[in-house]
Every structure is written in structure tokens, then in C-alpha cells.
Structure 1
Amino acid sequence: MKFILIAIGGAFGALFRYFVSKVFNTHFPFNYIPLGTVIVNVLGAFLLSFVLFSSIERFEVNPNFVLFFGTGFLGAFTTFSTFAYETLSLFLTSPFRALVYFFANLFFGFFAAFFGMVLGRGKFL
């Protein structure tokens, strides 16, 4: 049953990642860095942190929901492999753009995860 929950969540997460990336890359063309990947990774970092800290410290969350949403959906929604590929592709044409992209993912992803932790815990630290 657990594998099915993860697989279904992963299928939805992958489809949603494709949709969000296409929307941001098509309707908000920002050619300096691949904005769609930054958005999905930052949003995923926030949501995973929020769900996990909420379930640990504030609410009783069904472990099956954590498997479905955290492991399945968000695991497929966020994308380290695309981030790595796009960073290297940018590096070949513009090392500076690659660094901007790399640090944008790290900085905003960490900040989003921190914000998710604060909201999930209901307290700052």
C-alpha cells in the first residue's frame, strides 16, 4: 500500500512540475536563468518543510499522507537532476549565469524551507 501511495503521489508531482515549469517558462519568459525549475524547487522546499515540521511538532498527520505528499508528490515535483543539468548547461555559455542560478536555487530554497519550518512549528526557533 505504501508503494502505491508514493507512486500515485509521484505521478501527480511529476505532472504538476511539468505544468508549473511550462507556465513559468512560457508566460513569464525570463531568459537569464530557468525560472520554472527555481520555482518548483523553492515551492517544494517550503511545502516539504512545512508538512514535516507541522506533522512532527503541531499536528497529528497521517503517515500515509506524508508518504503520498512528501515522498511521492514533492519528491517528483522538485528536481535536483534538472537543476544540475541546467547549471552545467548555463556554465558552458556563461559561468556567471550558472552561479546566479546555482545560488538562487540554494538561497531561495533554504529560505523557503526555513519559512516552512517557522510556519509549520508555529514559532520562530
Structure 2
Amino acid sequence: MRQLDVRSVGTVAAGGAAGAVARHLLVGAGGSSGWAVTLAVNVAGAFLLGLLLERLARGGPDTGRRRLRLLLGTGALGGFTTYSGIAVEVLARLDAGSWAGAAGYGLGTVLAGLAACGAGVVVGARRAAR
């Protein structure tokens, strides 16, 4: 079992704090359209995560880039995206009696995130090939 690396935990925490603050500011600025901003944040974050991880993977062994992956991937993008926000939006639609809206929002967000992540991987691979 690996020992806890305090520097790695600090790196993830710093990135996570920055990502969560960025998301909070964007969703708050969305006002009554906060649900759309939450969706956009999750899809954009999935794209950026796919792009980041593809670029880092194509750079060779992970030894020198591990901290960057922890800071930006696990930390910043992990804090930026929010599946708890999806759950809140789904529950709001269920409370309003819109089962179809709840299912559509939840499933749509997950599928859009998968597509965006795949697109990020493709963009990262193309840029690396140049």
C-alpha cells in the first residue's frame, strides 16, 4: 500500500479549490439559467479533461507530469465539474413533476460529457501528431 504523499494532497486541494470557485462564480452569474451553466461547465470540463489527459499521456512516462495531472485534472477540473450539481437539477425537475425533464437532463448531461471528453482526446491526439 502506498503511503499518503502530503504534497500530492496539497496539489489536488489547491487545484480543487480553484476549480470549485470558478464553477461557483460561473453558475452564480447564470442567475435563473444556472442549470444551463452547470451543464456547460460539466461539458466543458469533460472536454478539457480529455484534452489534458491525452496530451499528458502522449508526452511519455508520467513521472514529470504527475503533479500537473493532479493539479489540473484531479484538482481543478475535478472541482470545476460537478455531478452533485446534476443531481440537484434532476431532483428539481422531479419535484416539479417532470420525470421526462429529469431523465433528459441527467442522461443528456452524462452523454454530452462523454462526447466532449472523446472530442478532447481527439483534439489532444491531433495536436500531438503535429
Tell me which residue corresponds to 1:44.
Answer: 45
The residue identity in structure 2 corresponding to 1:77 is: F
Task: Decide which of 63, 72, 77 is 2:75's aligned counterpart.
Answer: 72
Larger of the two Rg values belongs to structure: 2
**TM-score, length of structure 1 as denominator length:** 0.84
| Number of aligned residues | 117
CA drift of 1:103 comes to 2.7
Matches within 5 A, 1:57-68: 57=58, 59=59, 62-68=65-71
Tell me which residue corresponds to 1:11.
Answer: 17
CA drift of 1:34 comes to 1.1
- Summarize deviations over 1:12-61 as a string: whole Å, max 9, x none: 011001112123x23xx54xx8112101110110011110011112x356
CA drift of 1:88 comes to 1.8
Can you give the 5+ residue segments of structure 1 that lack an aligned partner in the other structure? Answer: none
The residue identity in structure 2 corresponding to 1:45 is: A
- Summarize deviations over 1:59-116 as a string: whole Å, max 9, x none: 3562111100001111111111121122122122111221221132022211111110
Matches within 5 A, 1:1-125: 1-23=7-29, 25-26=30-31, 29-30=32-33, 34-57=35-58, 59=59, 62-93=65-96, 94-122=98-126
CA drift of 1:3 comes to 1.2
Any conservation in 2 of the 1:38–1:104 contact (CA below 8 Å)? no
Can you give the 5+ residue segments of structure 2 that lack an aligned partner in the other structure? Answer: 1-6
